[in-house]
Amino acid sequence: MIDAVGRGVNAWRVGERVGVGFLAGHCWECDPCRRGDFVNCRDQAQTGTTTDGGYAEGVHARTSGLVRIPEGMPPAEAAPLLCAGLTTFTGLRQAGARPGGLVAVQGIGGLGHLALQYARSLGYQVVAVARGREKESQARLLGAHHYIDSNEEDVADALQALGGASAILATAASGASMSPLVAGLAPRGRLVVLGAAPDPIQVNTADLLFGTRTVQGHLTGSPMDNEDNLAFSVAHGIKPRIEVFPLSEAPRAYEHMLSGKARFRAVLDASA
């Protein structure tokens, strides 16, 4: 909630419910901003990385980074949607899959569990790709029509058996697990990389050339994209699966997140 506004601020008022995503506000002045490409602003702080935020009861933020929160949406639910939700929602829009097309989501974690819900709500045939069978029932509850266990099946062959994916959202932070996905794309299909991995993606040139396939990175979206994302989430009942910790237990929440056991997002409650 806005506690105070700075000099010259006209479009925002004290008391409004707002949030800030990973990108904390564009500058309006650099070349990408002047061309309307706010996501790639060259002078944009990153919340919790290059500027404080996320582990505090209050933050200073640029008005260009503010996102209005819909009435009735709990803050703990809004928080993951402002980052992981926005990333997967806009990633699907960037993918350009045809209506009703086959869309795969690789990795059923903090990003992937939201991507499944968005993809189902957007009317796609949804495939969940993960290691092991333990996440299959959860993936289907979240919207998957099909499930591929990458420990048991060749993912590309399994996708091609379903007709080939118009788009694949790669959310697991592993370049090695993303590399085989390209061959599972349909002609002119697109692999949209959302997960930041420490290892490279390796792609056979033939898989790109024969089928005119594309590998594309995707960061997130603008604050207006985020407001669209929140409105869509409310309309379709899309909610993150969260575990809430009081701010005083931030170190424990962080360790829980690093353990990979969080289902699926650890959220800090500054009021607790």
Model confidence over 144-154: pLDDT tens digits? 999 999 999 99
Q: Report whether pLDDT(192) > 80.
A: yes
Whole-number percent of the chain with pLDDT over 90: 95
Across the chain, mean pLDDT equals: 96
pLDDT digits (tens, 9 = 90+) for 7-34: 999 999 999 999 999 999 999 999 999 9
Whole-number percent of the chain with pLDDT over 70: 100
Q: What is the mean pLDDT of residues 114-142?
A: 97
Determine the Cα–Cα distance for residues 124 and 266; give it in Å rounded to an integer: 28
Determine the Cα–Cα distance for residues 223 and 12; give it in Å rounded to an integer: 14
With CA atoms as reference, report the closest residue to 192 among 49, 89, 83, 41: 89
**Per-residue pLDDT at 54:** 81
179: confidence class by pLDDT, cuts 50, 70, 90 = very high
**Per-residue pLDDT at 242:** 97
Structural domains present in the chain = 18-83+222-269 (3.90.180.10), 85-217 (3.40.50.720)
**Per-residue pLDDT at 244:** 97
68: confidence class by pLDDT, cuts 50, 70, 90 = very high
Q: Report whether pLDDT(272) > 80.
A: no
**Per-residue pLDDT at 56:** 87
Determine the Cα–Cα distance for residues 178 and 93; give it in Å rounded to an integer: 20
Determine the Cα–Cα distance for residues 47 and 26; give it in Å rounded to an integer: 12
With CA atoms as reference, report the closest residue to 180 among 155, 200, 210, 162: 155
Q: Report whether pLDDT(157) > 90.
A: yes
**Per-residue pLDDT at 150:** 97
**Per-residue pLDDT at 92:** 97
**Per-residue pLDDT at 173:** 93
What's the predicted TM-score (pTM) here?
Answer: 0.96
How long a stretch of residues is the chain? Answer: 272
Three-state DSSP string of 21-66: CCECCCCCCCHHHHCCCHHHCCCCCEECCCECCCCCCCCCCCHHHE
Q: Report whether pLDDT(187) > 90.
A: yes
| C-beta separation of 187 from 160 below 8 A | no
Between 261 and 124, whose confidence is greater?
124
| C-beta separation of 20 from 82 below 8 A | yes
**Per-residue pLDDT at 29:** 98
pLDDT digits (tens, 9 = 90+) for 200-210: 999 999 999 99
Q: Report whether pLDDT(95) > 80.
A: yes
Determine the Cα–Cα distance for residues 75 and 20; give it in Å rounded to an integer: 12
